[in-house]
Amino acid sequence: MAKNVTTGTPIAAESIHAQLLAIFTAWGMPEDLAETTAGIMVETDLLGVDSHGISMMMTYEEGVKAGRIRLDARPRVVRDTGPTALVDAGNGLGHPVAVFGMNLAVDKALAHGVGVVGVVNSHHFGAAGAYARIASARGVIGMVTSSTRGVTMVPTRGAMPVLGTNPLAFAAPAKRNRPFVLDMATTAVAAGKVKVHHLNDAPLPAGWVVDERGTPITDPHEANAFVFQKKEGGITPVGGAEDTGGAKGYGLAMLVHILGGALVGSSFSPIRNRQARDDQPHNIGHFFLALDPKAFREPGAFEGDLDDVIDILRATPPADPALPVLVAGEPENMMHAKRSKEGVPIPASLDTLIRGICERSAAPYLLRPNG
C-alpha cells in the first residue's frame, strides 16, 4: 500500500457526511441517492483512500455543471437471465448504481451460486473496494472492475497514455479474521493519488509518473500536469517499465476494461474523447461478480481455510520487526479505526476548494474540526 501523505485539519466523519449531503442535495440530488453516495464517499475517506472521497467533489461539480451527470437517475434492470443482469445507470453518478449492482449480484449468488451484474451509462463510482466489501459483508466472494473516463496509463513501450487506471477489487469473507480485500488500480498508482500529492505538496516516488521519454517525474505539480493536462506522458502500469514487469499491469488493465467496458457496452475513452462533446455523459461501465462459497463447499469450510491462510501469512517473519507482514485490506482497516477516532485530515487547499463549491451551490459549509 502506498504511504498515505494526507495532512491537514482532522474532520469528523459525521461532519464530512453532512457536508457531502448538503452539497449533493443543493445540486438537486434526491435525498436517498445523496445519502448512499455520501455514505460510500465517507467510508472511502475513513479507509484512507483519499483520492476517491471528498477530494472528488470538484470533478463531480464540473460534471453536474456541464450537464453530463443526471443526479436524479435511478438504476434500471434492462436484461435479466437469472444469474446475470445488465443495469442501465441512466447517466447518473456511479455510487448509487454500484451499490445496487453489487447487492443485486449478491442476491443472485445466494439464489444461484453465482451472480454477475454489468452496469452501463454510469459515471465515476469512487473506490472499487467499497463495493467488494459489500459482498464479503454479506458472506460471499465479490469482484469489481470498472472502465474509466481518464486516459492516464502509458502502455508498455508507449509514449502517450491510452488506458485508464482501470480498477480491480476483490473481497472474500473469513471467519475469525476480517475479510481479505484487494483494492487496486492496474496502474502503478491511481490518478487521484497523484492529485493528493499535488494538494499536499508531497513529492512522488520515482516510477509512478513518466514523461513522453519515459523519464520518471517526482515533482507533484509537474506530475499532476502530466496526468491531468498534458497529452504525452502519464502513469506507468503496475510493474513499471517493461523489464520490471510492466507488461503484466498493462495486461491486467485490458482484462478490467474487457469486463467493465467491452462486455457491458460502455465507451472506450480514446474513441469517445474524439467524438463526444463536453456535455455528453461518460458512459462508464462497471462489472460485479459474486460467488457463494456454499455452492462449492459445506458452510464455513471456505472461510475456515481462508483463516488458516491469513494466519500463516501474518506469522511470516518480517524483514523489519517494526513492519509486520499484513494481508490486503488490513492497512485500510487500521486507517479506518484511526480516522474514526481522530478524524479525516483535510488539507487547507482542499478545504478552500470545498468552501468554493459551497458558495457556488448555496450549500452551508459544515466541515468542523474533530473534537
The predicted-structure confidence for 81-134, as pLDDT tens digits, reads as follows: 999 999 999 999 999 999 999 999 999 999 999 999 999 999 999 999 999 999
Q: Are residues 352 and 370 in the same domain?
A: yes
Q: Assess whether 178 and 268 both reside in one domain.
A: yes
Residues 138, 189: Cα–Cα separation, whole Å: 29
Residues 4, 150, single domain; the answer is no
In a domain, 285, yes or no: yes
Under 8 Å CB-to-CB from 109, ≥6 apart: which residues?
83, 115, 140, 290, 291, 292, 295
pLDDT given for residue 214 in this prediction: 85
Q: Per the structure block, which three cell numbers stand in for 170?
A: 476483490
Predicted local distance difference test score (pLDDT) of residue 102: 98
Residue 63 confidence (pLDDT) above 80: yes
CB–CB of 215/226 below 8 Å?
no
- What is the sign of the dihedral through the CA atoms of 339, 343, 347 and 352? positive
pLDDT value at position 149? 87
Instruction: Provide the sign of the torsion angle of the four alpha carbons 24, 60, 94, 189, taken in this order.
Output: negative
Let me know whether 162 and 304 are in one domain. Answer: yes
**What CATH number should be reported for the domain holding residue 214?**
3.30.60.50
**Residue 91 near residue 281 (C-beta atoms within 8 A):** yes
Last residue of a domain, one of 217, 235, 253: 235
The answer to whether residues 281 and 248 belong to one domain is yes
CB atoms within 10 A of CB 188: 23
- Residues 115, 250: one domain? yes
The proportion of the chain whose per-residue pLDDT surpasses 90, expressed as a percent, equals: 80
Looking at the structure of the chain, the number of domains it has is: 3
CA distances from 152 to 4, 55, 100, 204 (A): 21, 18, 28, 16
Same domain, 253 and 126: yes
Angle at 248 between CA 247 and CA 249, to 5 degrees: 90
Are residues 135 and 263 both part of a single domain? yes
Cα–Cα–Cα angle for 93, 50, 283, rounded to 5 degrees: 25
Q: According to the model, what pLDDT value does residue 192 have? A: 82
Q: 343 lies in which domain range? A: 1-66+330-371
- CA dist 140 and 162 (Å) reads 34
Q: Are residues 174 and 116 in the same domain?
A: yes
Q: How far apart are CA 135 and CA 288, in angstroms?
A: 10
Residues 122 and 268 in one domain: yes
Report the CATH number that the domain containing residue 16 is assigned in CATH: 1.10.1530.10
What sections of 206-320 are H helices per DSSP? 220-228, 246-257, 269-275, 301-314
Do 41 and 54 lie in one domain? The reply is yes
